Amino acid sequence: MKPPPVRWTTSPYEGGTGLERLVIFAEGRQNQPMANPIFANLPTTIFEEMSGLARELGAVNLGQGFPDDPGPEAIRARAADAVLNGYNQYPPMAGLPELRQAVASHYGATQGLVLDWASEITITSGATEALAAAFLGLIEPGDEVVVFQPVYDSYLPMIRAAGGVPKLVSLQPPHWRFTRAMLEAAFTERTRFVVLNNPMNPTGVVFPEADLALLAEFCVAHDIIAICDEVWEQVVFGNARHRPLIGFPGMRERTVKIGSAGKMFGLTGWKVGFLAAAPDLTHSLARAHQFLTFTTPPNLQAAVAWGLENAETWFREMPRDLARSRDRLSDGLERQGFAVLPAEGTYFLNIDLAASGVAMDDRAFCLHAVREAGVAAIPVSALYEEQPVTNIVRLCFAKRDATLDAGIERLAKARELARKAAPAEDLPARA
Ligand code: PMP
Ligand code: GLN
């Protein structure tokens, strides 16, 4: 929306004391946004909104993605020791060498990648900062950036702040896959980047090799850079396999791979992220990082380095335990009449409201569920910028059994109340 024109009461630069002039200046601008509209016009993120409601109403929180256990004790003990006995001043800008080495060897051992820790790894304050560094460090004004919807909430504002022009590709339930025709429609001669979140939040999809090969083919043919948000790379279940796009033919020099210790170790508040990219790209990423946060807490970096070197058991057990929690939530919800979509990775599964006999849209259902039944969830439409899918609700299963059981009971209550308010026969026919 265009702001109304500024009506100056008087020139801010004439007469009066400095303070008077400042007041007059502010009055003159009161109808005009003082801040960058990209950020001024944003709502609070859906994750914060729903967690805020859950706190306020004492609800079971299956919304925002965080485990409700405290995380691996040995790694936390390491961090505590590093705070008390370690080095607590600025670490090197690109990260502690021991952590950069540990990240490079972790990706070598688990994903078959050969990365040079000194010229290809940068440590950031979470994947959020890594994404910001990639967008600000690489995008030039006017560059088109292909992005998949539903889209993780930080991408679009940061792409726009960098001057990029997002080109959206809409993925649809239940499979959320992209096709050649969808990519052909999105890529133009101005495309310079594609952003891929794999495994994907909120859909729980782990993209198969064929889809990734197709995307890699487009990246090479259009000579563009892929920014790959792979924070969920370690949270993959059953027979699904995470394959990093950087490992596909032609992608090694044109991919920025982003990871997060928060997701690897279930320590979401730690905000220790990794950027892996060829030296030329790393140079620009590090230049952006040096003015975003400059460094990341050294004690947490030291603990993550130790964790990566001693995590074999954790990386085997964590996905197995999470898959069990996923099944507990999924089975419980199905018993209560919910239609549950498959989830191969991440902390999340989705329910289809229409297929569950609920006639509300996702946002209305989530507000109803938190207020009337005491359970918080995420409406997936909040993660679409245009033409939202409005019948899908995301639930976090990285929770103790008691939390999951309470969540199932409360969601069942929310469903029953919703069905009483709007009986299922009023529903439009299912596609
Ligand atoms: N990208 C995706 C897809 C995420 O799901 C998250 C957090 N859940 C992030 C980035 C942010 O990660 P971090 O907390 O390390 O900043
Ligand atoms: N990534 C977390 C989720 O998807 C939320 C992080 C945040 O609140 N920014 O739930």
Which CATH number do you get for residue 114? 3.40.640.10
Domain co-membership, 306 together with 329: no
Domain co-membership, 111 together with 218: yes
Q: Which atom of ligand 2 is nearest to the CA of 48?
A: 8
For residue range 318-337, list pLDDT tens digits in order: 999 999 999 999 999 999 99
Pocket test for ligand 2, best of 49, 131, 153 (most atoms within 8 A of CB): 153
pLDDT at 10: 42
Residue 415: CATH number of its domain: 3.90.1150.10
Identify whether 292 is part of a domain.
Answer: yes
Domain termination residue (choose one: 311, 331, 362): 311
Q: Give percent of the chain above pLDDT 90.
A: 89
Q: Is pLDDT above 60 for 22? A: no
Paired tokens of 359? 């006639």
The answer to whether the bond into 12 is cis (omega within 30° of 0) is: no
Is residue 62 within 8 A of residue 351, CB to CB? The reply is no
Domain co-membership, 121 together with 239: yes
Alpha-carbon separation of residue 112 from 108, 170, 261, 283 (angstroms)? 5, 31, 19, 23
Chain centroid to Cα 412, Å, comes to 28
DSSP 178-196: --HHHHHHH--TTEEEEEE
Is residue 131 within 8 A of residue 229, CB to CB? The reply is yes
Q: Return the residue matching tokens 């928060």.
A: 262
Is residue 174 within 8 A of residue 352, CB to CB? The reply is yes
Question: How far does residue 228's CA lie from ligand 1's centre (Å)?
Answer: 12
H helices of 276-430, in order, are 279-292, 298-309, 312-335, 362-368, 401-421
Domain co-membership, 152 together with 216: yes
Protein residue closest via CA to atom 1 of ligand 2: 65
Domain co-membership, 353 together with 411: yes
Domain coverage including residue 376: 46-70+313-423
Identify whether 370 is part of a domain.
Answer: yes
For residue range 360-378, list pLDDT tens digits in order: 999 999 999 999 999 999 9
Domain termination residue (choose one: 311, 335, 350): 311
Paired tokens of 166? 């997002």
Identify whether 158 is part of a domain.
Answer: yes
Does the beta carbon of 273 lie inside 6 Å of ligand 1?
yes
Ligand nearest to the CA of 205: 1
Domain co-membership, 214 together with 322: no
For residue range 230-277, list pLDDT tens digits in order: 999 999 999 999 999 999 999 999 999 999 999 999 999 999 999 999
Identify whether 33 is part of a domain.
Answer: no
Domain co-membership, 136 together with 181: yes
Domain co-membership, 203 together with 182: yes
Domain co-membership, 126 together with 271: yes
Handedness of CA 130, 132, 137, 141 (dihedral sign): positive
Q: What is the pTM of this model?
A: 0.92
Kindly report the backbone phi and psi dihedral angles of residue 88, in degrees, each rounded to the nearest multiple of 5, phi listed first: -120, 20
Identify whether 293 is part of a domain.
Answer: yes
Is residue 30 very low, low, confident or very high in pLDDT (cuts 50, 70, 90)? low
CA–CA gap between residue 229 and residue 369 (Å, rounded): 31
Identify whether 13 is part of a domain.
Answer: no
Domain co-membership, 65 together with 129: no
How many domains does the chain fold into? 2
Does the beta carbon of 326 lie inside 6 Å of ligand 1?
no
Residue closest to 150 by CA, chosen among 418, 369, 420, 387: 387
Pocket test for ligand 2, best of 42, 45, 47, 201 (most atoms within 8 A of CB): 47
Domain termination residue (choose one: 261, 276, 311): 311
Domain co-membership, 146 together with 240: yes
Domain co-membership, 405 together with 307: no
- Greatest Cα pair distance, the chain, in angstroms, is 74
